[in-house]
């Protein structure tokens, strides 16, 4: 098992790049790397927005505003900083407002290829871990029945899923052609502090605050809800694991839970009355996946670990973290007024 001591030994004083560092998962990866003592390069779209997020999450590092659509910009960064390992959490299309198909492929696929090519130019042959950990998505599997293993033939039905699958393919091709070490970690339903408003848990938190009815789908679809800090821990462990070039690894809990059960569990913790949740008020989206158990054999083989946090605990951790952030912000504001 790859434990905390092994992580500390690998990442301490190591040059690490995080693409998409101000995003939901990216900020947690950056935070964890800082805690390991890594020298973190934070690649973001907007430096001003990122600074506020990093202050809130206590992330310290080299903040770099870069045009991720430009291969030249990516290449310049790698030639100047020469990171030993890169975590690619940049993405486009997961937000419902992001619907530019060309941009989907530029960020989710072309960026992967450009990053791999830049890594190949500067990679340190003495580094024993992965050169790149690329984050994929369950939507790459798409509408396929039954259990999901990494060998399942994907059939994505959304532009986001198709473009992310293209990125996974690009990574595998580049690893073999360029001789770099890399893998794709496929994530499923990640929740926790920093989620975008409108997603399930933030919507429930807002409903608890306002007391207004919350229209929901019937909630029968099952998901593997994985707490964001567990996802982060898994990504850092995979970063120092030995894998096949371009290998795909499912990163999830292996426990399926209906959306309705998740919502009712959160409602119980938040003190939301049952009648406030209006199940079946909105239709289930066409792109919603239907699948059975997620196979985690490769994850166990590589790092002898699976995400342990139960849904109840993850929800409570989310609320506690956000409460601490709110208290810190209030204290800072009070000091600034003195």
Helices (H), the chain: 4-11, 24-35, 47-57, 71-81, 101-105, 111-122, 159-178, 200-210, 228-238, 259-270, 297-303, 311-337
Lowest mean pLDDT among 2-6, 136-140, 170-174, 204-208: 2-6
The mean pLDDT value of the chain amounts to: 93
Task: For each of the domains in the chain, give its residue range(s) and CATH number, in order of start.
Answer: 4-188+225-255+292-307 (3.40.50.720), 192-223+257-285+312-338 (3.90.25)
Exposure string for 170-199, b = 16+ CB within 10 A, e = fewer: bbbebbeebebbbbbbbbbbbbbbbbeeee
Question: What is the reported pLDDT for 328?
Answer: 76
Classify 153 as helix, strand or coil.
coil
β-bridge mates for residue 226, sequence order:
190
Quick one: what percent of the chain has pLDDT higher than 90? Answer: 83
What's the rounded mean pLDDT across residues 255-260? 96
292 has pLDDT over 90: no
d(CA 312, CA 309): 8
Question: For residue range 36-61, what is the model confidence (pLDDT) as tens digits?
Answer: 999 999 999 999 999 999 999 999 99
333 has pLDDT over 60: no
CB 219 within 8 A of CB 259: yes
**Angle of helix 4-11 relative to helix 228-238, nearest 10 degrees?**
60
Question: For residue range 197-211, what is the model confidence (pLDDT) as tens digits?
Answer: 889 999 999 999 999
- Supply the pTM of this predicted model: 0.95
CB 194 within 8 A of CB 322: no
If we measure between CA atoms, which residue out of 288, 316, 141, 315 comes closest to residue 219? 288
Helices (H), 36-84: 47-57, 71-81
């Amino acid at each position: 098992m790859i434990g905390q001591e092994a992580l500390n030994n690998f990442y301490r004083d190591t040059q690490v790049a995080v693409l998409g560092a101000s995003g939901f998962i990216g900020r947690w990866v950056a935070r964890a790397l800082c805690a390991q003592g890594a020298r973190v390069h934070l690649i973001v779209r907007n430096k001003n927005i990122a600074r506020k997020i990093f202050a809130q999450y206590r992330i310290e590092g080299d903040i770099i505003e870069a045009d991720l659509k430009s291969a030249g910009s990516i290449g310049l960064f790698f030639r100047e900083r020469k990171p030993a390992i890169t975590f690619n959490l940049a993405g486009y299309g997961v937000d419902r407002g992001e619907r530019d198909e060309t941009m989907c492929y530029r960020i989710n696929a072309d960026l992967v290829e450009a990053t791999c090519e830049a890594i190949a130019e500067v990679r340190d042959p003495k580094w024993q871990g992965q050169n790149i950990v690329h984050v994929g998505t369950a939507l790459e599997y798409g509408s396929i029945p039954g259990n999901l293993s990494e060998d399942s033939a994907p059939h994505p039905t959304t532009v986001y899923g198709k473009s992310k699958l293209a990125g996974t393919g690009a990574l595998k091709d580049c690893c073999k052609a360029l001789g770099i070490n890399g893998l794709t970690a496929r994530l499923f339903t990640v929740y926790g502090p920093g989620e975008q408003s409108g997603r399930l848990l933030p919507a429930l938190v807002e409903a608890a605050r306002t007391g207004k009815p919350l229209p929901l789908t019937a909630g029968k679809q099952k998901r593997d809800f994985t707490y964001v800090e567990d996802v982060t821990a898994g990504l850092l462990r995979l970063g120092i694991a030995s894998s096949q070039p371009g290998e795909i690894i499912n990163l999830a809990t292996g426990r399926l839970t209906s959306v309705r059960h998740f919502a009712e569990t959160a409602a119980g913790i938040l003190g939301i009355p049952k009648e406030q949740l209006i199940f079946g008020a909105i239709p289930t989206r066409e792109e919603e996946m239907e699948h059975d158990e997620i196979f985690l054999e490769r994850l166990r083989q590589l790092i002898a670990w699976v995400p342990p946090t139960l849904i109840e605990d993850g929800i409570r951790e989310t609320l506690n973290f956000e409460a601490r952030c709110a208290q810190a912000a209030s204290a800072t504001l009070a000091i600034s007024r003195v």
